[in-house]
Structure 1
Amino acid sequence: MDDEQVFPNDLDEETLFVVSQTFKALSDPTRIRILNLLFEKEYSVNEIAENLKLRQSTVSHQLRFLKNLRLVKYRREGTSIYYSHDDEHVINVLQQMIKHALHH
């Protein structure tokens, strides 16, 4: 079977839910911008807001959504919290889609 991937014909409910939630996460431009930024390195909420010219409350809300899907993770350093991406596969899909859109 060369490099062909084999996908099951019938997906269980949990798999369907995880896949649909991941695509839901990637369907929002703000979340795409945040994940794309976090591809480079980790950032605090304030740094994300400054870089993307967004309100801090907007960034916090979107990070909470992404964290619940385990697409971002965080670490605490003193009083600061730093976020980074937490799913290499999803980041790869996102990067491929961005490249595809740029060359389309």
Structure 2
Amino acid sequence: MPLVKRNIEPRHLCRGALPDGVTSELECVTNSTLAAIIKQLGSLSRHAEDIFGELFNEANSFYLRMSSLQERVDQLAVKVTQLDSTVEEGEDQSFN
């Protein structure tokens, strides 16, 4: 069973009971539904902000890791160009 990370409220927009003494039922239902929709959009907006914040943090972390790897590759490229290709494989004693 998946765990719910974010929950948008209200879930049910038009399930409220009408107050007693309402003369215009359609207007009352329309207004309460509109208020619930606005509240739901606000909740959705907060969740979207959280999602984009998490996405930004992940992208930034990925960028930092890739920058570190690029630096290591550049350092290895410099070391490879500095190697003497005339020395045979078993003769180099600098690795001991």
Taking structure 2 as the reference length, what is the TM-score of the superposition?
0.23
Tell me which protein shows more strand as a share of its residues.
1
Give the structure with higher Rg (CA).
2
Taking structure 1 as the reference length, what is the TM-score of the superposition?
0.22
